[in-house]
Amino acid sequence: MSKKAFQDYYPDDVSHCYGCGRLNEHGLRIKSYWDGEVTITKFIPRPYHTASPGYVYGGLIASLIDCHSTGTAAAAAYRAEGRSMDTKPPFRYVTASLKVDYLKPTPMGVPLEVKGKVKEIKGRKVIVEATVTAEGKVCAKGEVVAVQMPEHMKPRVGVHKIEFTPNE
Amino acid sequence: MSKKAFQDYYPDDVSHCYGCGRLNEHGLRIKSYWDGEVTITKFIPRPYHTASPGYVYGGLIASLIDCHSTGTAAAAAYRAEGRSMDTKPPFRYVTASLKVDYLKPTPMGVPLEVKGKVKEIKGRKVIVEATVTAEGKVCAKGEVVAVQMPEHMKPRVGVHKIEFTPNE
């Protein structure tokens, strides 16, 4: 797909998300698109994204559902207002709650397809249902309650000293 | 802490988890321990684990809760049988469902403390409640339904060709 993804429309100062920020060079860079009335992203887990060997790590699946759903929330909010994603003011959602049911082990080495469906839009909140499919089988399903990013979560670079510290 | 973590007792063939496997050199290597009747892990997010700048990525928080809870489930199962984690047969749990409520933005640059509490042990299932604390404040809470790893999820290396494929 060559068209711009939802995440490509996020303003620069909120485009550093590890899951989907185009400006996070270490991140997953999840890209979401409309596919009719649902949304879709495709992702090939990296070889180290394993649970047990041969299967995909559940935390990665949660991350895919998370970022695809907040992207879906933003896209749906623009649609609900009848305007395109390059118009202002911008919509940017964060996750209030995330629920994932792991239905079966997700195989490694194949593309995963995450689909999102808007269940509800109300005020600053959008609820998104998601499925994760591999080899034609739904391996996980999720639900995300996304809310518009609150003012106090706007970037505050420099408040904390951020340095890399190994975890051992 | 110099003593062995729960995850250090996992058998080699199920120690490749991206979140907590000691044999996954690219992973997060989460380490969990008993602290009385609750379990604890500490983790310092890497600088690129951002949501918006200054705050921790929700998918990472989900991952911490996920692996700490499955580790807690294993440790609790040994305790329930009155045996230590270096005895056989080994317990290894996977996640059936994961729920995370993000209560407030989690600050970057400080250690996160994840605590787990066993809510229920029944048959092959353990339900764990978790909290994620930063700077003394609970930023997220979660609940994980963990089940003993099913036979069909045991390693099946080589079934799929696993190569690194960039996602763009």
Cα dihedral sign for A55, B71, B143, A152? negative
Per-residue pLDDT at B153? 77
The chain B residue lying nearest A66, using CA atoms, is B59
Residue A86 phi/psi, 5-degree rounding, is -95, 15
A98 pLDDT band, cuts 50/70/90, is very high
Q: Listing from the earlier edge strand, what are the strands of the sheet with B93-102?
A: A33-35, A38-43, A112-122, A125-134, A137-148, A93-102, B93-102, B137-148, B125-134, B112-122, B38-43, B33-35
Fill in the amino acid letter for A62.
A
Neighbouring-strand partners of residue A138: A133
Angle subtended by helix axes B58-80 and A58-80, to nearest 10:
140
For position B155, what pLDDT does the model report? Answer: 67
Check CB contact of A82 with chain B, cutoff 8 Å. Answer: no
pLDDT confidence tier of residue B156, bands split at 50, 70 and 90: low
How confident is the model over B81-92, as pLDDT tens digits?
Answer: 999 999 999 999
So what's the pLDDT on residue A153? 77
pLDDT(B36) > 70:
yes
pLDDT in tens, A40-63: 999 999 999 999 999 999 999 999
Q: How confident is the model at residue B152 (pLDDT cuts 50, 70, 90)?
A: confident
Q: Out of A51, A153, A167, name the one closest to residue B43 (CB).
A: A167
Band of residue B162 on the pLDDT scale cut at 50, 70, 90: very low
Asked whether B16 and B80 are in contact (CB, 8 A), the reply is no
pTM for the full predicted model: 0.92
User: Does the distance separating the beta carbons of B96 and A53 come in below 8 Å?
Assistant: no
Measured in angstroms, the CA of A83 and the nearest CA of chain B are apart by 25
Residue of B10, B16, B31, B50 to mutate, interface with A, max A Cβ within 10 Å: B50
**Which residues of chain B lie closer than 8 angstroms to A43, CB-CB?**
167
The answer to whether residue B135 neighbours chain A at the CB level (below 8 Å) is: no
B163/A44 CB distance under 8 A: no
Question: Partners of B146 in the beta sheet?
Answer: B95, B126
- Could you tell me the sign of the dihedral formed by the alpha carbons of B136, B21, B96, A98, in that order? positive
In this predicted structure, what is the pLDDT of residue B69?
98
Are A26 and B16 a contacting pair at CB < 8 A? no
Mean pLDDT of A156-160: 45
- B2 falls in which pLDDT band (50, 70, 90)? low
Residue A92 has pLDDT above 80, yes or no: yes
Q: CB count, 10 Å around CB of B152?
A: 8
Chain B residues 17-56 within an 8 A CB cutoff of chain A: 17-19, 21, 24-29, 31, 43-44, 46-55
pLDDT at A161: 36
- The mean pLDDT value for A153-158 works out to 60
Where is pLDDT greater, at B151 or A44? A44
First to last CA, chain A: 41
Between A155 and B55, the more confident residue is B55
Lowest mean pLDDT across A1-15, B48-62, B137-151, B152-166:
B152-166
Indicate the pLDDT class of residue A150, thresholds 50, 70 and 90.
confident
Percentage of chain A exceeding pLDDT 90: 87
Mutation target among B8, B52, B128 for the A interface, most CBs of A within 10 A: B52
Asked if residue B52 lies in contact with residue A154, where contact means CB atoms within 8 angstroms, the answer is yes
Whether residue A100 and residue B97 make contact (CB cut-off 8 A), yes or no, is: yes
Nearest partner of B37 among B116, B122, B153, B112, judged by Cα: B116
The yes/no answer to whether this complex scores an ipTM above 0.85 is yes
B102-130 per-position pLDDT tens digit:
999 999 999 999 999 999 999 999 999 99
d(CA A4, CA B44) in angstroms, rounded, equals 34
Confidence band for A158, pLDDT divided at 50, 70 and 90: very low
Closest-CA residue to B9 (of B34, B36, B38): B34
Distance between CA A22 and CA A30 in Å, rounded? 8
